[in-house]
Amino acid sequence: MAGLKEIRTRISSVKSTRQITSAMKMVAAAKLKKNQDKITSLRPYANKLHDVLTAVRESMEEDFENVLMSSRKPQKVLIILVTSNRGLCGGFNANVIHKALDVAEEIYPRQWKTGNLSFFAIGKKGADFIRSNKFLLAGVETEVFDHLDFHSATQLANQFTEEFITGKYDRIDFIYNRFKNAVVQMITHEHFLPVHMEEKETGPAVDYIFEPQKDLLLETLIPDVLKVQFYKVLLDSFASEHGARMTAMHQATDNADDLIHELTLHYNKARQASITKEILDIVGGAEALR
């Protein structure tokens, strides 16, 4: 059995680790809350925008064609891989990276083999992975999570929209952790461009006045939808990251608690044993003197 002093040092080191993990858990919980509020406040805008878009499309005789909706043969594919900048969040990054490789191998095998599939990494962890495996890395963005707002999402969304229009990529997809709740993240593969419109429902359309014409209106609405989608993806991933970190740190804290309990037990046993031994020595000594 280890010496008393060694056990004591271990207990104190586990205790300080426990303090760190439990503090990280608190921080993650606070950030998660803040981010969840952002998701909640985006919802009314997203819903309304969807309503307006539906209203415009319902009123149109034939369906609408737009460069952002043109589904070309996917020669060049870009996968936007959303990870985190920091670790210590359980399987958060590993899971999403695995999914990215699965998608590359199963959905885009041809482009993958011919080197026409590249990755854009949002978050440092994804970028590190792509780099160390020498896959095609189209770009890296690590600062967006420092001040995550609609404006920064807009800039990124515009950049990708531009690259789609110029034909640099024929298809742009997301792979990210969708936020379900603090404990559950759903790894999601989602199309960004070309825009996929759901089948329009033919309901009783309200007789709106459209200003300007419907097609021009749609042309301004579709980029807005893309921006909202992009912002939502970033928010979801960021919230998931904090959720994952919170869970991981919670587990680490629990483990530390168990360890401390076990070590304290050991310590007490060792202490008892040494006291018993001492008493035996004294008694033995006294016995010998008689």
Partner 1 sequence: MHLEIVTPEKTVFSGEVTLVQLPGEKGSFEILHNHAPIISSLKAGTVKYITKEGITKNVEINGGVVESRSNNIVVLGEFI
Residues in touch with partner 1 (CB under 8 A):
38, 41-42, 44-46, 48-49, 51-52, 55-56, 149-151, 206-212, 216-217, 220-221, 224, 227-228, 231
Angle ∠(93,94,95) on CA atoms, nearest 5: 90
Q: Under 8 Å CB-to-CB from 76, ≥6 apart: which residues?
A: 111, 116, 117, 118, 168, 169, 170, 171
Q: Which CB, 89 or 148, lies closer to partner 1?
A: 148
Environment class of 137 (CB within 10 Å of its CB; exposed 0-12, middle 13-18, buried 19+): middle
We find the least distance from the C-beta atom of residue 185 to partner 1, in angstroms, to be 23
We find the least distance from the C-beta atom of residue 52 to partner 1, in angstroms, to be 5
We find the least distance from the C-beta atom of residue 60 to partner 1, in angstroms, to be 12
Q: Read off the tokens for 167.
A: 């034909």
Q: Label each residue of 176-196 as H, E or C.
A: EEEECCCCCEEEEEEEEECCC
Q: Which CB, 158 or 255, lies closer to partner 1?
A: 158
At residue 46, what is the residue type?
A: A
Q: Which CB, 88 or 221, lies closer to partner 1?
A: 221
Q: Which CB, 197 or 270, lies closer to partner 1?
A: 197
Q: Which CB, 48 or 72, lies closer to partner 1?
A: 48
Q: Label each residue of 214-263 as H, E or C.
A: HHHHHHHHHHHHHHHHHHHHHHHHHHHHHHHHHHHHHHHHHHHHHHHHHH
Give the Cβ contact number of residue 274 at 10 Å.
Answer: 13
We find the least distance from the C-beta atom of residue 235 to partner 1, in angstroms, to be 10
We find the least distance from the C-beta atom of residue 38 to partner 1, in angstroms, to be 7
We find the least distance from the C-beta atom of residue 154 to partner 1, in angstroms, to be 8
Q: Which CB, 7 or 218, lies closer to partner 1?
A: 218
